[in-house]
Structure 1
Amino acid sequence: MLRKTTGLAAALFLAACGQGEQAAPAPAAAQGERLTVQLSQVAQQKPLAAEIATRDQAEALVRIPGTLVDLRVREGDMVTRGQRIGTVTDSRLGYETAAYGAQAAAASAQADAARAELARIEYLFKRGVYAQARLDQARAAARSADAQVRAAREQQSASAATAGQGAIIAPATGRVLRADVPQGSVVAPGMSVATVTSGPPILRLDVPQSLARSLRPGAVVTVQDESPLGGKQGTIVQLYPAVAGGRVRADVEVPGLTTDLVGMRVSVLVDTGSRPGITIPRRFVSTRFGIDYVDVLAKDGSAASVPVQTAPGAGGSVEILSGLKPGDVILAGKAAR
């Protein structure tokens, strides 16, 4: 009797287990916007530093030795080409000009005496007192005296013109960047007393030589800075074919750039080409406790949260560095888990 009761209980237990397994519901299919992950070309950008500059810088140079007695500009002033911005004087030139003037006066007096002598000899020659040779000699002496007068006057004019070169002239129209030579300083020819901007304002990049071959004219440069230039974009217009100190210089044109803050440094992102990668819209990524997750659709229709490593992308997208592969199907929003 005991054996029959035990067998009946086991049969009832197995039947109940079989009914439980058949009653287990299938997993519900996840709902939401779907996207199939694909490879695409991702723009590569490198963070660099740039400096606001001008295409060229002109130097206001001293032309004669002497003393800087007047400097009429300061940093930040606007000047026009040909404007007189300073004066250099050399007292020696004044004495030299006066000496040449005295020589010209003496030569003029000698010329007057020679012409008078020539007139007297011509008068006596007509009356047969002097021979032709004496007349020729007097004429040569008069011409020589006139030449000495002209030479002395030219020397006087040259000395006066040299003194006039003490004027310091602005070499270009622009803003004065530097004018730090104090008045009263002794200066020499070729010495710069002021630096003036010349040409349109630009952003100047110093690019490491390892990135030089990745740059090209027309590449996009984006300003990443808290200054008023933040967010503006420009293009590389010139790459200089030389390496100095392991760096290559490049000029970038940015609309709206001014020369108000020449020399200011800003942070930029430079487009250096593209590479294959995975980018998805930001709405497919959720962040929990500082970790980014993406809902990946499984083969049975369920969704699972997968942690991913992301990087900022362009146009509201993010780049997936790890966690997804091409062909995966992902869901937007909170899918069923």
Structure 2
Amino acid sequence: MRAHLLLTAPLALALSACGSGEPAAVPPQAVVTGERFTLRPQQLPDLAEVPATVTTRDMAEARARIPGVLTALNVHAGSRVSAGQPIALITDSRLTQEAAAQGAGAAAAEAQAARAKADLDRIRFLHREGVYAQAKLDEAQAASRAANAMLAAARAQQGAVKAVEGQGVVRAPAAGTVLVADVPEGSAVAPGMLIATITAGPPIVRLDVPEGLAARLRAGAEVHVSGLAGQAAGETAIGRIVRIYPGVSDGRTRADVTVSGLSPELVGQRVAAAVEAGAREGLAVPARFVEQRFGLRFVRLLSADGKRAADVPVEVRPLADGRVEILSGLHGGDMILAPHAGAGK
């Protein structure tokens, strides 16, 4: 009986404490510590998506200068060439025949000039000996001068034909990379026909801007370029507009953008570009508050009481000043923590 009382006494004390109405003591909850940032709406650049192409500031075009047949094409797309380098050969059989005819004419004129000189030398000697009169000498001198003039004319015609024939050699107008060279060998070509397109100058990104957006472009505006070879998913390169071309063609205008570190090997690649076209209200945070894991981006959102933090997925867009714009996942007034923030008492 005494043992039973000893066992029931603690239970009675516990039940009496529950019925007294006084709450049990709860240890204080930990407060999350670390660098904090409160999101506030602010004016941010408004970006418009436009198509673009990696190209060079200038495009050098190697064109045919004479009609004929493309007998040799020594380059292909991607070939590196130097200025003046022969890249193709165009031949015209008519020029070959004309050159042969002019050569024969020049040889005949040379023979006539040689004969006239020999006659002049003989008559000059006989004139000194008193055999021929002065009139005979004058006639021989005139004939020699006429023969020499005919020889000069024949040689000039021969040189002109050779010069035209030499225009069949197509040379690179500038140093760079061949972008297009797709004329098959054996094709008939006409003067002015494009044989090869060669990049010239530093690589740039050329925007193809709708005319409705053209009026809002300005030199120095920020441009975000994505889709470059070697870029990670979601990564963008930031550049600036350096030239806006006047006029509108087919409802579009062009603008050139310089991007640091752009490789000439990317010339011809189609990319996407977001161009600054005004300003709008948005949310921006320092890039250090955004953490990337498994291809997704997260920020640590702090609860209103400051005692809890949760990882929230967000969509972001990089800004030129090192910050990122929050496109979705957060709202104005939210407080976020830097990654790896801890908890304190």
The TM-score with structure 2 as length reference comes to 0.69
Q: C-alpha displacement at 1:131, in angstroms? A: 3.5
Distance 1:147 1:260, change over 3 A: same
CA distance in 2: counterparts of 1:113 and 1:257, whole angstroms: 70
Q: C-alpha displacement at 1:82, in angstroms? A: 1.3
CA distance in 2: counterparts of 1:232 and 1:140, whole angstroms: 79
Q: Which amino acid aligns with 2:117?
A: R
Alpha-carbon displacement from aligned partner over 1:212-266 (angstroms, at most 9, x marks no partner) = 2221111111124475343110111101111111212100011121232323222
Distance 1:35 1:52, change over 3 A: closer
Alpha-carbon displacement from aligned partner over 1:89-134 (angstroms, at most 9, x marks no partner) = 2222222222222212222222233223323433443454544333
CA distance in 2: counterparts of 1:98 and 1:317, whole angstroms: 74
Q: 1:53 maps to what in 2?
A: 55
Distance 1:224 1:62, change over 3 A: closer
Q: C-alpha displacement at 1:83, in angstroms? A: 1.1
Q: Which amino acid aligns with 2:275?
A: V
Q: C-alpha displacement at 1:209, in angstroms? A: 1.8
Q: 1:238 maps to what in 2?
A: 243
Distance 1:150 1:251, change over 3 A: same
Q: Quick one: which of 139, 145, 148 aligns to 2:147?
A: 145
Q: Matches of residues 197-212 of structure 1 in structure 2 within 5 Å?
A: 197-212=199-214
CA distance in 1: counterparts of 2:282 and 2:267, whole angstroms: 40
SS at match of 2:191: coil
Q: 1:255 maps to what in 2?
A: 260
SS at match of 1:100: helix
Aligned length: 276
CA distance in 1: counterparts of 2:120 and 2:284, whole angstroms: 107
Q: Which amino acid aligns with 2:158?
A: Q
Q: 2:195 maps to what in 1?
A: 193
SS at match of 1:249: strand
Q: C-alpha displacement at 1:317, in angstroms? A: 5.1
CA RMSD, 1 decimal: 3.4
Q: Which moved more, 1:91-100 or 1:185-194?
A: 91-100
Q: 1:218 maps to what in 2?
A: 220
Distance 1:122 1:247, change over 3 A: same
Structure 1 stretches (4+) deviating beyond 3 angstroms? 31-40, 123-131, 224-227, 277-283, 310-320, 330-333
Percent of residue pairs identical: 47
Larger Rg: 1
Which 5+ residue runs of structure 1 have no aligned equivalent?
1-30, 284-293, 298-309, 325-329
Contact 1:53 1:202 in 2 (8 A): yes
Contact 2:39 2:334 in 1 (8 A): no
Is 1:115 the counterpart of 2:117 in the alignment?
yes
Is 1:158 the counterpart of 2:152 in the alignment?
no
Q: Quick one: which of 246, 251, 276 aligns to 1:271?
A: 276
Which 5+ residue runs of structure 2 have no aligned equivalent?
1-30, 290-300, 305-313, 337-345
Distance 1:332 1:75, change over 3 A: closer
Q: C-alpha displacement at 1:197, in angstroms? A: 0.8
The TM-score with structure 1 as length reference comes to 0.70
